[in-house]
Amino acid sequence: VTGASFVVFNGALKTSSGFLAKSSIVEDGLMVQITREMMESLCQALRDKKDFKITCGKMDTRDTKEYVDICWVEDEEKTNKG
């Protein structure tokens, strides 16, 4: 689990790169590189207020993957106020 001050979603990842998606820590935030198609799905999920999961890592390996989960919560009292 990584805490971040901000998240940047970059929809310019090419499918020919061999990655499902890539995540990296940038200063005190998180940058997630995704394909254009996944960006469209993410935007629709945000409009619909639906949870969304991004799997990061190489397409052709069985290595442990990283996940970026976008989750909507009902009770804001239990979320980080910072």
The domain of 58 spans 6-70
Cα–Cα distance for residue pair 27/50, rounded to 1 Å: 28
Whether the CB-CB separation of 45 and 58 falls below 8 Å is answered with no
Query: Which pLDDT score, from 0 to 100, does residue 73 have?
Result: 80
Query: Tens digit of pLDDT for each residue in 3-49?
Result: 778 999 999 999 899 999 999 988 889 999 999 999 999 999 999 99
Beta bridge partners of 25: 30
Q: Is the residue at 82 inside a domain? A: no
Query: Which pLDDT score, from 0 to 100, does residue 80 have?
Result: 61
Query: Which pLDDT score, from 0 to 100, does residue 10 have?
Result: 96
Q: Is the residue at 78 inside a domain? A: no
Question: Which DSSP state fits 60?
Answer: T
- When divided into structural domains, the chain yields a total of 1
Q: Is the residue at 55 inside a domain? A: yes
Query: Tens digit of pLDDT for each residue in 64-80?
Result: 678 999 998 877 666 56
Q: Is the residue at 1 inside a domain? A: no
| Cα separation values, 3 from 27, 28, 35, 59, 68, Å | 12, 8, 24, 26, 12
Query: Which pLDDT score, from 0 to 100, does residue 49 have?
Result: 93
What residue has token string 């619909």? 48
